[in-house]
Structure 1
Amino acid sequence: MSTLTIRKVDEDVKHRLQVRAARNGRSMEAEVRAILDEAVSDSAGDDVSLGAVMAEFRRRTGGVELDLPPREDLSDHRVPDFT
């Protein structure tokens, strides 16, 4: 499991979360986990890979053109000897 910190939560939102958690018999932390789990659960999208999502994003937005710096010439680079 990972840890997620959310800063600058409005006091009214926090209060409503506390009320909702109490109504559901959970701690506020457990309630937030349940809300996040429900928000990202999509039975139609469970089999979708990250690559497919990125390809769809590129299709919808036209992609992003990045200005890449030129590659330096690596022909004269030597592998260090650490022996």
Structure 2
Amino acid sequence: MTSITIRNVPDEVHRALRIRAAMHGRSTEAEIRGILEQAAKPEGRLKLGTLLNSIARDAGGLSDAEARRFDKLRDRAPAEPMRFE
């Protein structure tokens, strides 16, 4: 995993993060990771595959049964990065 250093965090913000972390029963570092993950990958975000699936359904290209079958076949594992070696 990657490490990130954040400089010049105001004391009030750091104190608020420590309090928030304690309220959630985790370390300040874990709290900050949670905040960053939620900001970068919100739960309500629209995913490309879901969007394309809904477009195909609206256009009459897929029935609900076909859409469910494609959804079961979809590989949910993250793609491997390309290598140019």
Query: What is the root-mean-square deviation of aligned Cα atoms in Å?
Result: 1.7
Residue 18 of structure 1: how far off its partner (Å): 0.2
1: distance between equivalents of 2:47 and 2:40? 10
Residue equivalent to 2:30: 30
Counterpart mapping for 1:46-65 below 5 A: 46-47=47-48
TM-score scaled by structure 1?
Answer: 0.52
2: distance between equivalents of 1:47 and 1:8? 37
| Percent of aligned pairs sharing the same letter | 42
Residue equivalent to 1:13: 13
Residue 41 of structure 1: how far off its partner (Å): 1.1
Residue equivalent to 1:44: 45
- Give the aligned residue type for 1:44: R
2: distance between equivalents of 1:19 and 1:27? 10
Q: How many residues align?
A: 48
TM-score scaled by structure 2?
Answer: 0.51
- Give the aligned residue type for 1:41: K
1: distance between equivalents of 2:9 and 2:26? 19
Deviations 1:48-70 (A, max 9, x none): 9xxxxxxxxxxxxxxxxxxxxxx
- 1 or 2, which has the higher helix percentage? 2
1: distance between equivalents of 2:30 and 2:17? 10
Decide which structure has the larger Cα Rg and report it: 1
